[in-house]
Amino acid sequence: MVEIQPPMKQMGYDRASVVFSPEGRMYQVEYARKAVEKATTAVGVTFSNGVVLVAARSLQRLLVPESVEKISKIDEHIGVASCGILADSRVLIDYARIRAQINRMNYSEPIEISTLVKDICDRKQRFTQMGGIRPFGVALLLGGMNDTPHLYETDPSGTLREWKAHAVGRGAKDAKKVLVEEFKDGMSRDKAIELALKALKTGEKKITLRSTEMGIIENGKFSYIDRNALKDVMKKFV
């Protein structure tokens, strides 16, 4: 005779983000991480004077590419690459922009990137311990400059890590192999761009110019890489 388990015993531990399983796991947070693992890849690489951020967009034939924003500007010296549920990303980016502007108004200086990242992670973490809500299903790669270049990762749990180079998303495993093998401290801007694109191409086999977005923080200023400049570099990889 087959024993039927009570529904609560089968599913109770993943019905709310505030419930721990007997193994100490939080299933809603793990599900949010799955949303990141299934999303298109994003890569960040630091170099001597800044940070390169590049991401692949999932596009349909009639979709306007610019309407899918994977690389965003937060402040003059900070940019972000998003991976996961882009609606969640948009909310967090708006929050980060407000925090950056409040810092400028209060202290008349740009916000430290480490301070901003911790603030974002605090917000993410709060959404893992409140009933009636769910964790943010997005990972962010934040690049910025204060005195030196920095690249931070935030995951859906609110965990914070700093990297010299990193990748998130469905192609992260293959992309990180390239980064580990070829990253060098003090790389030039051009070498960092080439490495970021190579890693992205390794993780996302079918990237095109239309589906690729790139931003760069150099000497304390964020800017988008225009389509023509990106086209010249991508000829080596696409």
**What's residue 78's pLDDT?**
97
Question: How many Å apart are CA 106 and CA 101, to the nearest integer?
Answer: 9
Q: Residue 217 pairs with which residues in a beta bridge?
A: 51, 222
* pLDDT tier at 67, thresholds 50, 70, 90: confident
| Model confidence pLDDT, tens digit, residues 29-55 | 999 999 999 999 999 999 999 999 999
**What's residue 2's pLDDT?**
46
| Model confidence pLDDT, tens digit, residues 72-126 | 999 999 999 999 999 999 999 999 999 999 999 999 999 999 999 999 999 999 9
Residues with a known catalytic role: 40
Contact 114, 102 (CB under 8 A): no
**What's residue 6's pLDDT?**
47
| Model confidence pLDDT, tens digit, residues 138-166 | 999 999 988 899 999 999 999 999 999 99
4 has pLDDT over 50: no
- Residue 182 corresponds to which tokens in the numbers above? 């070829």
| Model confidence pLDDT, tens digit, residues 171-196 | 999 999 999 999 999 999 999 999 99
Around 232, how many Cα atoms within 13 Å sit in the side-chain half-sphere?
A: 6
CB-based contacts of 139, cutoff 8 Å, min separation 6: 36, 42, 82, 83, 84, 153, 154, 155, 156, 168, 169
Higher pLDDT, 235 or 142: 142
Contact 29, 157 (CB under 8 A): yes
Q: Is the pTM of this model over 0.85?
A: yes
Q: Which domains occur in the chain, in start order?
A: 25-234 (3.60.20.10)
